[in-house]
Amino acid sequence: MDSVEPTEMSLLDGLLYELKNNDFGWQNKAECQGEATDLFFMDMEDSQINHIKMREARAICDRCQVKKECLDFALINNIDYGVWGGTSPYQRKEMRHEQRHRV
């Protein structure tokens, strides 16, 4: 796989290549750069605040050019906290469950 150019790889191979080579350059293009980190992580005590935070975080994700890369990173790494690629931990759990049970 090392001799293959990243542009010739499948999406999964490309992500594995990225992880292996620690190339997280997509993060430098993320719309959330410079935003308050706590906006993307929910408060266990206050569901009303969480609703507002989720809406604001998703608005940022919706205008992000690397939203898909962010979501793929969270799915591949089983990140079960925070908003990644505009999704909640519960949504990503459901996505992983669906992927495992596809025929």
Is 1's pLDDT higher than 50? Answer: no
pLDDT in tens, 83-102: 999 999 999 999 989 888 87
Q: Are 17 and 1 in contact (CB under 8 A)?
A: yes
> Nearest 5 degrees, angle CA 27-CA 33-CA 35?
145
Region 34-63: mean pLDDT is: 91
Rounded to two decimals, the pTM is: 0.72
Alpha carbon distance 65, 84 (integer Å): 13
Bigger pLDDT: 72 vs 11:
72
pLDDT above 50: residue 24: yes
